[in-house]
Amino acid sequence: MRTTTAPGTVAELVARQWGDHRPGLKHEDGVLTRHRTAQEAAARAALLVDLMPPGAEPHLGVLLDNTPEFPFWLGAAALAGAAVAGINPTRRGPELARDILHTDCRLLITEPAHLPLLRGLDLPGVRVLVTGTEEYAALLAPYAAAEPGDATLGAPGPGSRLLLYFTSGSTGAPKAAICTQGRLAAAGAALARRFSVTPDDVHYVCMPLFHGNAVIADWLPALAGDAAVALRRRFSASAFLDDVRTHGATYFTYVGRAVQYLLATEPRPDDREHPLRLGFGTEAGAADAARFTERFGVPLVEGYGATEGGASVQRTPDTPPAALGRAGAGDDLAVIDSETGRTCPPAVFDDRGRLLNADRAIGELVNRGRSLFEGYWRNPDAEAARTRDGWYWTGDLFYRDAQGFLYFAGRTDDRLRVDSENLAAAVIENILARWADAAAVAVYAVPDEVAGDQVMAALALRDGAVFDPAAFAAFLAAQPDLGTKMPPRYVRIVPAMPVTATNKVHRVALRRAGFRCPDPVWHRAPGGAYRPLTGADLANLLAAYAAHDRTDLPAR
């Protein structure tokens, strides 16, 4: 049962479920008690200890959808003093093998549906356990009576590694961020306090558990607040509300693209008939968050805090709707111009709250105070880049108003340089998202024929809408905060926005394709009208690239 002192480890959070027969884990096949989930974790912890080779790093890879086995193995690793590497099932071939081998996994937990991904891979020293098979059941059977603490690879403490979770791989191979039990237990407890989580809550986990969003912001606060967890194997916008009602879910986490998917579903008269009380996530955007609350009656709380733990932004009651909040406790956050090293000036807004000095106000968010960053596994170069000059550089673009509130403006990788002017993709996206016919928007750079970048936008249209180039141009001209360098030179009309396994826009794929793609692409010269990009236009563009020795850039 719940202890009176704050737990110092995730192992303590898992163990305190023992003897508690309230609902703990809900999934498509039924409901397990909190005691049963601890029992299953203890059995796997004992198996893990016996299977781990002597002297090996105590790491296991988990290549699973959101099935009960995933939290069982997270709990097992915590109890055994081991670490889980979340393996992304959208990775393929050498990239997938690299993720498993880079994190020194000696065990890999997977399921029959993912076995084809492993076919032909060279994984020396890695033992694969396949859940849902007779062999797997036989392996576990001798450990059915195990209890928390019976078997460990080393007594788990606050400094014990628990997660090796991969961050974005948009610029090279993904980096495995180290997360210790002490930091994760504290994060779960802090969110449980912030959102007043109680045993009556049910946390709906529909984001993938191989990503930090679902584990740190959904599973852990449920553990800390003694709440139940409901699993969805994979996110489904059409099944979202039915799942919420079936499981009695009160809380969920999201990313911005998932919110767009939910808003794109057909409205129903019972959209507000559900037990949800809030959603917590990132990158929904103020307009989509307001539309979500209006339609479903659920407030979305935007947060900021990467898996690495290097910086956090906390929302307060006086935070403006479009802002994320101010610096978290202990953080000294600044918005820095990475070219000059100087602090960016405060944001200037018009009377409608639109940013007027984006070119000067937007910079990289830097933590000049203490940092909870615990490093990357076997990647000293990435660690050094993240912590240069004694500061923690987040890799994210922000701007700050005169009162100190911080506003997210995208990733540094998503910055464009047009005619020597720096632009943030997220700022342009927020403006284009006002267009009534747009269901989803992504902005990214394609190379200019001579130097720098040009703006390209991918648009997914609302049901029944047809792209009207004149109407789109008129919309752009009417936006007072759309700077002269911001209007897209190229517009790609996509049937659906490409997304990653974590339901984020797949910007790498969009950038690589550029304007050489199967979808309709429109373009215009400065001051001209949008017109379709023809084969002749493409040939002229490629000739211009060749003339300026930039032929390698369109597919970057």
Report residue 409's pLDDT band, with 50, 70 and 90 as the boundaries. Answer: confident
Q: For residue 551, is pLDDT > 70?
A: no
Final residue in a domain of this structure, among 113, 147, 181: 181
Q: Provide the pLDDT for residue 450.
A: 76
Query: Both 169 and 37 in a single domain?
Result: yes
Q: For residue 168, is pLDDT > 70?
A: no
Q: Which residues pair with 129 in a beta bridge?
A: 109
Indicate whether 192 belongs to any domain: no
What is the spatial distance between Cα 245 and Cα 251, in angstroms, rounded to a whole number?
12
What tokens does 504 get? 């984020």
> Among residues of the chain, what percentage have pLDDT more than 70?
96
CB-facing half-sphere around the CA of 384: CA atoms within 13 A = 4
For the segment 134-141, the average pLDDT, to the nearest whole number, is 98
Report residue 172's pLDDT band, with 50, 70 and 90 as the boundaries. Answer: low
Query: Both 352 and 480 in a single domain?
Result: no
Report residue 5's pLDDT band, with 50, 70 and 90 as the boundaries. Answer: low
Give the total residue count for the chain: 556
Indicate whether 262 belongs to any domain: no
For the segment 304-324, the average pLDDT, to the nearest whole number, is 88
Q: Provide the pLDDT for residue 319.
A: 92
For the segment 50-64, the average pLDDT, to the nearest whole number, is 97
Query: Both 399 and 437 in a single domain?
Result: no
Query: Both 163 and 66 in a single domain?
Result: yes
Identify the domain containing residue 362 by its residue range.
320-415
For the segment 494-515, the average pLDDT, to the nearest whole number, is 86
Number of domains in the chain: 3
Judge if pTM exceeds 0.85.
no
Residues 6+ apart with CB under 8 A from 237: 258, 261, 262, 264, 265
Q: Provide the pLDDT for residue 4.
A: 45
Query: Both 396 and 468 in a single domain?
Result: no
Final residue in a domain of this structure, among 154, 181, 208: 181
What tokens does 127 get? 């033992």
User: To which residue do tokens 């999201």 refer?
Assistant: 254
Indicate whether 212 belongs to any domain: no
Q: For residue 61, is pLDDT > 50?
A: yes
Q: For residue 322, is pLDDT > 90?
A: no
Q: Provide the pLDDT for residue 552.
A: 54
Q: For residue 529, is pLDDT > 60?
A: yes
Pick from 246, 201, 247, 249: nearest CA to 222: 201
CATH number (domain holding residue 365)? 2.30.38.10
